[in-house]
Amino acid sequence: MDSEGAEGSVRVDAWIWSVRLTKTRSQAAAACKAGHVRVNGTRVKAAQSIRAGDQVRIFVGGRERLVVVSKTVRKRVGAPVAVQCYVDNSPPPPPKEFTAPVAVRDRGAGRPTKRDRREMERLQPGLEKPAR
């Protein structure tokens, strides 16, 4: 394991990938480019250096992760080692039972019929037509 400790600095995209917050380094770089990564409250580019003690906020996979860097690593490490490199202060994910039901249609099923449309509107409140 190539770790730099408190005195070293690492590119933010490389660190996000090495501690397994994203699956690939290109996904980490794309998240930085899209503005989904903040270091100490500031949007950063992929080449931004981070050090131990920095707060990294990343929105990936439909979830916001808030981590504090405790150790900088340059190479991808195993999951047990990766969790030692940061302190996770992320809010808990929303419970599964509170997700709203979504109308799903089979691919290639064609246009919905009037009956199908009414069933979808019944499942998703707020899609009804206004009364005349």
Other C-beta atoms lying within 10 Å of the C-beta of residue 4: 14
**What confidence tens digit (pLDDT) does each residue in 88-120 have?**
998 887 776 655 556 677 788 888 889 988 887
Q: Is the dihedral of CA 111, 117, 121, 124 positive or negative?
A: negative
Tell me the pLDDT band of 127, cut-offs 50, 70 and 90: low
| Alpha carbon distance 123, 127 (integer Å) | 9
| Close Cβ partners of 109 (under 8 Å, ≥ 6 residues apart) | none
Superfamily covering domain 3-94: RNA-binding S4 domain (3.10.290.10)
What are the backbone dihedrals phi and psi of residue 10, each rounded to the nearest 5 degrees, phi first? -135, 150
**What confidence tens digit (pLDDT) does each residue in 19-68 have?**
999 999 999 999 999 999 999 999 999 999 999 999 999 998 888 999 99
Domains of the chain, residue spans: 3-94
